[in-house]
Structure 1
Amino acid sequence: MIKQLLGEHKINENEVFNLLSSLSETGAEYSDLYFQHSVAESWVLDEGIVKDGSYNISHGVGARCVSGDKTGFSYSDDLNIKAIKGAVDFAKGISNSNSSKDPEILKTINYPTKYAALSPLDSLTSKEKVDLLREINSIARKEPKVVQVSASLSGAYTEVLIASTDGVYQIDCRPMVRVSVTVIVEHNGRIEQASSGGGGRYDYGYFARNSLAETYTKEALRLAFVALESKDAPAGKMPVILGSGWPGVLLHEAIGHGLEGDFNRKGSSVFSGKVGEKIASDKCTIVDNGTIANRRGSLTIDDEGTPTQETTLIENGILKGYMMDKMNGRLMNKPSTGNGRRESYAHIPMPRMTNTYMLNGKDHFEDMVSSVEDGIYAKNFDGGQVDITSGKFVFSANEAYLIKNGKITTPIKGATLIGAGDEVLHQISMVGDDLKLDPGVGVCGKDGQSVPVGVGQPSLKIDMLTVGGTQL
């Protein structure tokens, strides 16, 4: 698709090389071009009727020159050669470098792919897509307490061509699908809402092959019914057990961002300059892994053409390194770890997470629970806020329970977890053997850019954490 589109504008590999040569005339240490073509759709069913939908096609190119820590960048949503040359001239015009440097000969490397290079939008007919959403509605409506059901199906297919002055000439074809379910239930005048869903780099058949319409719907119902029974959460400092899977979003936000290269190069992260130091409990090993097949956060290559990898960030409590893109890696004398990511051709890349999670420990969930006299079990998370510089966070638990005398008891609502990432790492005393990754719903925001990510963890025990509650 991307080659055909460029071919229509008579842009071949030689022309791309010439454009890179023009970008390099200012003597930039590094320059690149990022061509992108994307097709995306969404279907929304509400009250058994398809009430909303969209279909979008977009394409464009971003041109970038990098000199030291300064970047010249421009983009065009028109792929004719005149428009691209205009973007190139603008980018190199603000790069503030004086000498000239020729680009390396372009070469393509066949890296092992992490997903099929097929558009998911064609994997079901329009009728089959609507039938999938109606199945969700039908399953949910069997429960008499359900008063409203909303379901959505979305898919996208993106092809990118990345060419750079260090010789990269790579194409990547990236599918993405997602299903979301929201139910509202009512009982004795009390109304609660809950959501579920998932996806990844698959075609739409992934949902049918694994009966996921039913799985997601039943999970949304389960969460809603738990909420109907919940009591106000207590407040104070207490032991907290975090569930496996999606609660890894706390690690992503409160710790993962602080391990991205740009924050550490600038010295603005609480983890800056601490490689080789003990920053966590020796039970903690945390990795960022962009190589897991079909995962939402996975990439065959990052948005600078570097193959993704599994990067150990923390090993047995010791900080091992940071996530790098090319620019920050060069400035810190480190190689890129395949974490250069951008939202689209209209954005510059920066160090971003892919799939970030804590590895399994040796503790059993039952032993964690039995070790707590008075605390809470936060099984599922909702939204949260984080100060990346300090690692301080506030997260809401949308499914949580009291732990009394070593047993999980009453469901609670309104529990918020308050702390700082670097402090929490030292408070982890037990790490479970039940690692799970999230179902494929993560979206990460940074500097106005959003990218798909994955999170995960085994269940773990934090010895002491501040819980903000609603109990009077």
Structure 2
Amino acid sequence: MIEQLLDDHHLNQEKITDLLSSLAVKGVDYADLYFQHSVAESWFLEEGIVKSGTYHISHGVGARAVKGEQTGFAYSDDLNAKAINQAVDFAKGISKHKTPQKIQTFHSVPPVAKYSGLSPLGSLTSEEKVDLLKLIDSIARKEPKVKQVSASLSGAYTEVLIVSTDGVYQKDYRPMVRVSVSVIVEHDGRIESASSGGGGRYDYRYFIDHNLAEIYTHEAIRQALVALKAKGTPAGNMPVILGPGWPGVLLHEAIGHGLEGDFNRKGTSVFTGKIGEQVASEKCTIVDNGTLANRRGSLTIDDEGTPTQNTTLIENGILKGYLFDKLNAGLMGEKSTGNARRESYAHIPMPRMTNTYMLNGKDSLEAMIASVDDGLYAVNFDGGQVDITSGKFVFSANEAYLIKNGKITTPVKGATLIGSGDEVLKKISMVANDLKLDSGVGVCGKDGQSVPVGVGQPSLKIDQLTVGGTEVDA
């Protein structure tokens, strides 16, 4: 589609080269153009009826010029020559010069694709998409306590062309699908809700071939039924065991953001200047890996055209590096790690995570549980907040259990985990060998931009953490 779109506007490689050269005037250190064409759809079911469906097409180009720490940026959702030239003229305004510079010869070496380059939108017919949502509804309603069901199916296909003054001329074709399930249950006047879902960079048929509609629906019901039995959470300092998979969102928020290059260049991260230092328990090795096949957070190339990679952030407790885009890497004397990401052509790229997770340890979950006399086992999280500068965080667990005398006992609700990312890392005393990645639901927000991400971890034990809660049933 993007090839046809560029052809329709007479934007061949020669014309694009001229535009880039015009953007890269004297005084500009680096410049790029980011062309994008996206198609997205969504279907929503409630009360057994598909109540809404949307279909959206968007395209445009972002023009960026970088001079030291300064960035000139403009975008256009119109690809005619006049509109693009206006965006280019605005972006290059950070330089007082008007003379174009010679740009490097383009080199287009296709990296190894991390996903299919085909659009997922036509992988099921409209009738099959509706049937998938109705299947979720029918499965959920077999549970007598389920009173309401909602489900959604969404897909997108994005094509990009990235050209830059350091010789990049790369295209990428990015599929994305997701299914979500929410249920409300009631028993003896008590009402609870829960949700589940997943997705990735594949097509809709993956959900059918792997029975994921049934799996996600049963998981949402399971969580809701557990919530019906949950008691109030006791507050205090106690050992906390985090389950595998989605609880890795705590690592993402409380630690991962602090390892992004822009925060460290500006000196606003708790991890600034600590490369080579012990910042975590020797049990901890954490990576950011954008190369995992078909994962929600994966990319073949980042949004500056750099191939993604598997970056070790912390190894056996030692801080090894940060996540970089080209701008922050250049200013810090480093190389890009392939972590430049942007929400769309209308946004500036910045260093962001892809799939961030802790590697396996050698302990077992059973041994962790047995080692705790009085503590908390947190399995799922709603979300939380973190202060990048201090590393302090607050996270809400939507599924957790008390541990008494080395055994998992009562489910509890209203548990909040309170601490500091750098301090928590040092209190991890056990890491299991049950690494699990999330099901593909992560969305990360930063400076007003949202991008898809992945998280994960094995089960792990934090020796002491502040737990906020209430002893009174909600």
Q: TM-score range by the shorter chain?
A: over 0.9
Distance 1:223 1:53 in 2: 28
Structure 1 pair 96–420 and aligned structure 2 pair: CA distance change class (3 A): farther
Alignment-derived partner of residue 275 in structure 1: 275
Q: Secondary structure at the match of 1:3?
A: helix
Aligned residues: 472
Q: C-alpha offsets along residues 273-305 of structure 1, whole Å, 9 cap, x if unaligned?
A: 000000000000000000000000000000000
Matched, 1:223 2:239: no
Counterpart in 1 of 2:146?
A: 146
Deviation digits for residues 373-423 of structure 1, max 9, x if unmatched? 000000111111111121111000010000000000000000000001000
Residue pairs, 1:319-330, within 5 angstroms: 319-330=319-330
Determine if contact 1:121/1:157 at 8 Å carries over to the other structure: yes
- Taking a change above 3 Å as real, the CA distance of residues 95 and 288 of structure 1, as seen in their structure-2 partners, is farther
* Cα RMSD after superposing both structures: 0.9
Instruction: Deviation per CA, 1:306-340: give whole Å up to 9, x if none.
Output: 00000000000000000000000000000000000
Offset at 1:3? 1.1
Q: Match of 1:413, as an amino acid?
A: K
What is the match of residue 259 of structure 2? 259
- 5+ residue gaps, structure 2: none
1:107 is displaced (CA, Å) by 1.7
Counterpart AA for 1:440: G
Map of 2:136 onto structure 1 = 136
**Cα-to-partner distance string for 1:213-271 (whole Å, 9 max, x where unaligned):** 00000000000000000000010000000000000000000000000000000000000
SS in 2 for 1:122: coil
**Contact persistence 1:40–1:57 (CA under 8 A):** yes
The aligned counterpart of 1:44 is 44
1:25-424 mapped onto 2 (5 Å cutoff): 25-95=25-95, 101-424=101-424
Does structure 1 conserve the Cα–Cα contact (< 8 Å) formed by 2:201 and 2:295?
A: yes
Between the aligned residues of both structures, percent identity stands at: 76
Between the aligned partners of 2:24 and 2:66, the Cα distance in structure 1 is 10
Amino acid at match of 1:279: V
Change (3 A) 1:95 1:203: farther
Please state whether the residue corresponding to 1:45 is helix, strand or coil. strand
TM-score by length of 2: 0.99
1:460 CA drift (Å): 0.1
| CA displacement at 1:94 relative to structure 2 | 3.0
* 1:470 to partner: Cα distance: 1.4
**Structure 1 residues 402-453: Cα deviation after superposition (integer angstroms, max 9, x where no partner):** 0000000000000000001000000000001000000000000000000000
| Distance of 1:430 and 1:99 partners within structure 2 | 60
Partner-residue secondary structure (3-state), 2:453:
strand
Please give the alpha-carbon distance, in whole angstroms, between the structure 1 residues aligned to 2:329 and 2:95. Answer: 19
- Counterpart secondary structure, 1:344: coil
The match for 2:441 is 441
**Structure 1 residue 27, shift from structure 2 partner:** 2.6
Question: Distance in 2 between the 1:126 and 1:43 partners?
Answer: 10
Counterpart residue number, 2:453:
453
1:61 and 1:79 in contact (8 A); partners too = yes
Check whether the contact 1:120–1:204 (CA below 8 A) recurs between aligned residues: yes
> Under a length normalisation based on structure 1, what TM-score does the superposition of the two structures give?
0.99
- SS of the residue aligned with 2:73? strand
Cα distance, 1:101 vs structure 2: 2.9
Conservation of the 8 A alpha-carbon contact between 2:65 and 2:71: yes
- How far apart are residue 26 of structure 1 and its match? 3.6
Segment drifting more, 78-87 vs 294-303: 78-87
CA shift for structure 1 position 182: 0.1
The DSSP-based 3-state class of the residue aligned with 1:408 is strand
Q: Is the 8 A contact 1:231 1:411 kept in 2?
A: yes
Q: Quick one: which amino acid aligns to residue 296 of structure 2?
A: R
2: CA distance between counterparts of 1:96 and 1:249?
45
Deviations 1:339-368 (A, max 9, x none): 000000000000000000000000000000
| Structure 2 counterpart SS, 1:227 | helix
CA distance 1:333–1:417, change in 2 (3 Å): same
Distance between the aligned counterparts of 2:315 and 2:273, measured in 1?
16
